[in-house]
Amino acid sequence: MRYASVTDRLAHLGSAKWELHVRARAMAAAGREIIELTIGEPDVPTPQALIEAASAAMRAGRTGYSNGRGEPKTVAALAQRYSARRGRPVGADQVICLPGTQTALYGIFRTLVQAGDEVIVGDPMYATYEGLIAQTGATMVPVRLRPEDGFRLRAEDVAAAVTPRTRVLFLNTPHNPSGAVLRPSDIAALGEVARAHDLWIVSDEVYEELVFPGVTFASPMDQPDLADRTVIACSISKSHAAPGFRSGWVIGPTEFARRLLPLSETMLFGSQPFLADMMALAVSEPSPVAGGMAARFANRAAMIARGLEGVAGLRVHSPEAGMFTMVDIRATGLSGEQFALDLLDAQGVAVMPGESFGAGMAGWLRLSLTQDDARTTEAIRRIALHAQGLMGNAA
């Protein structure tokens, strides 16, 4: 029997990248004590006010069909939020509500590119980005993000990667996995490249509210001269500790949203109204949990840096935002995948191998910052012990 070519393009770009996480969960289910530092689950429950909003909406009968753009109250709340943040009007006709950032990005790329096109993205990158681009038939063009640049994308590197087939510059700020935050000057320089080559800018901003103390978030949508070519994707998954509610959105130019709308209607024809009511409340007010999470994650990143930097040749990259920190384990002579598998088996600590996030992170690990301080401290001890044992064996 025959299958669509998209299934071949995505065959190894889905759950295969999360095999270690799945293995760790299976070990834990079998009774092994595992410290899980793999995925970005918030370290607090969803705020009770949001739970009550969704529950009240269900009790009130908000369980019928919606529409492809989103519930009017939610769309209006998002338009108001971005108008206030960006200092210029953002209309309801620029908003599309979709289930989480992943679906939002799927819809964005389905709207902007197709076979024969190219998308430039920083490497390392979030594990699903390759699949998001591949599903359209377009080609991903990775541009190396360097530790010495703080893993911030450089405009000159992007300019060197542009070809006549390039259609999109894909940004992620704050960045997963590195936690890097683009500065306004970075965005201005990248925007110059985008204007010079008539490129779209797609910006994944799901960690916008999880910048660490002393760091300021910036978006290409902040800059009026980039607004007509910028599309952003975001959700309440991280900022409001609500990943299971799958509540996200897209903001872009009016014509872009008009073209995305039929795709949204074809895929979903609307999200659940009771979840839309919850999201309307969430985006209308500052998150009650984001500030606390950012402070705790910054503190745990510092703990990991103090505990692992220089141990058996390990190097730690300190993030500026988000839920993760990165550790360079190349001095051990192992790949990230080999180290992570050995660490899981020997020490019961689950981390993500850097190879899941692109060639630029080969020989690195990504550690989540979402375990409490005591378990993070114990994970640091076990990782250090494991690295020292590897180097001792090598000697």
Q: Is 98 helix (H, G, I), strand (E, B) or coil?
A: strand
- Sheet with 315-317, strands from edge to edge, namely 35-37, 349-353, 364-368, 324-328, 315-317
Per-residue confidence at 391, pLDDT binned at 50, 70, 90?
A: confident
- Tokens representing 153 are 């994308």
Strands (DSSP E) along the chain, which ranges? 35-37, 95-98, 118-123, 139-144, 166-172, 200-204, 230-235, 248-251, 315-317, 324-328, 349-353, 364-368
Per-residue confidence at 14, pLDDT binned at 50, 70, 90?
A: confident
Q: Is the pLDDT of residue 395 over 50?
A: no
* Residue 13: C-alpha distances to residues 8, 18, 79, 119 (Å): 10, 10, 34, 17
Q: Is the pLDDT of residue 392 over 80?
A: no
Per-residue confidence at 85, pLDDT binned at 50, 70, 90?
A: confident
CA distance 229 to 218: 16
Q: Provide the pLDDT for residue 87.
A: 86
**Ranges of H-type helices in 87-153:** 100-112, 129-134
Q: Quick one: what percent of the chain has pLDDT higher than 70?
A: 99
Q: Provide the pLDDT for residue 269.
A: 85
Q: Provide the pLDDT for residue 33.
A: 96
Q: Is the pLDDT of residue 72 over 70?
A: yes
Per-residue confidence at 393, pLDDT binned at 50, 70, 90?
A: low
Q: Is 21 helix (H, G, I), strand (E, B) or coil?
A: helix
Per-residue pLDDT, averaged over 148-170, amounts to 98
Per-residue pLDDT, averaged over 121-148, amounts to 97
Q: Which domains does the chain have, with CATH numbers?
A: 5-45+289-394 (3.90.1150.10), 48-284 (3.40.640.10)
Q: Is the pLDDT of residue 186 over 60?
A: yes
Q: Which phi and psi angles does 230 have, rounded to 5°?
A: -110, 135
The pTM of the full predicted model, rounded to 2 decimals, is 0.95
Q: Is 339 helix (H, G, I), strand (E, B) or coil?
A: helix
Q: Is 247 helix (H, G, I), strand (E, B) or coil?
A: coil
Reported as a single tens digit per residue, the pLDDT across 200-226 is 999 999 999 999 999 999 999 999 999
Contacts for 95 with CB less than 8 Å, ≥ 6 apart:
69, 70, 75, 78, 79, 249, 250, 251, 257
Q: Provide the pLDDT for residue 17.
A: 86
CA distance 371 to 304: 12
Reported as a single tens digit per residue, the pLDDT across 274-293 is 999 999 999 999 999 999 99
Q: Quick one: what percent of the chain has pLDDT higher than 90?
A: 93
